[in-house]
Homo-oligomer: A and B are copies of this chain.
Amino acid sequence: MSARVSPSAARADTSRQAQKERTREAILAAALELSQSQGFAQTSLRQVARHAGVVPTAFYRHFASMDELGLALVEQSFGTLRAMIRDAQRDPETFADIIDASAEILVRVVKQNKAHFGFVARERNSGSEAVRQAIQRELELFISELAVVLARLPHLDTWSAEDVKLASGLFVRNMVYRAEQVVQMPDGRPDLEEEIKRKARREMRLIVLGFEKWDSHSG
């Protein structure tokens, strides 16, 4: 196991494993695009291969089955989601008004990654058993991660871990719903976009008001 990729820059790498990687990416991209219009389950191995510019049997050099491809797409998609959170936490605007910033970031990032978020939304309930479970698991993980962030907020810093997770779940599920709307939104409609942001903000505010009262409530 020596260092694989030699640092010869400039022109395209013609090495064997680099070419293989390129084909793999082409297959992933093809599957993602075809999924957008017809759903992953209706996307055939042959369609993917055709779109990626390879012969059907070449598919098997990269994935043992369409199911395995699906799992790779889940991983890719949640990579995008995690990048979104990381960016949000770096952005100083986030701490100024966490709700406004969240709505803003949500719409912007989902719009930039419609394919990935659309994939998750679609396959969450309708994918194969393996894909569905992978998504549920990642989503649970994401709720837990957000809970850690929320736990540092005023009002929530005294809550039990379970209560914070409940709040996190409410937020994530609403974000998922609004993300679904953004994915389905036609291009070039800033009015719809603003409407979604506005609704997302109001919903989050309503939930936050619940937070504030929960403090003195279950004491």
Interface residues of A, Cβ cutoff 8 Å to B: 39, 41-42, 121-126, 166-167, 169-170, 173-174, 177, 180, 199, 202-203, 206-214, 217
Which residue of B is nearest A183, CB measured? B125
A193 to B128, CA, bound (A): 24
- Counting chain B CB atoms within 10 Å of each CB, the highest count among A42, A123, A125 belongs to A125
Beta-carbon nearest neighbor of A213 in chain B: B209
Taken together as a complex, chains A and B put the C-alpha atoms of A74 and B182 apart, in Å, by 23
B199/A206 in contact, CB under 8 A: no
Complex CA gap A180/B39 in Å reads 20
Count of chain copies: 2
Residues of B within 8 A of A41 (CB): 39, 41-42, 126
Contacts of A166 in B (CB 8 A): 199, 202-203, 206
Cross-chain contact of A206 among B125, B202, B210 (Cβ < 8 A): B210
Question: Can you list 8 pairs linking A and B with CB atoms under 8 Å apart?
Answer: A39-B41, A121-B125, A170-B174, A173-B173, A173-B174, A206-B211, A207-B207, A210-B210
- Complex: how many Å from CA A169 to CA B204? 12
A174 to B199, CA, bound (A): 16
Question: Which residues of B sit under 8 angstroms from A126, Cβ to Cβ?
Answer: 39, 41, 122-123, 125-126
A125 to B183, CA, bound (A): 11
Contacts of A211 in B (CB 8 A): 206
Contacts of A209 in B (CB 8 A): 209-210, 213-214, 217
List 4 tightest A-B contacts by C-beta distance, closest first. A210-B210, A126-B126, A209-B213, A209-B210
**Interface residue from B125, B207, B208 paired with A122 (Cβ < 8 Å):** B125
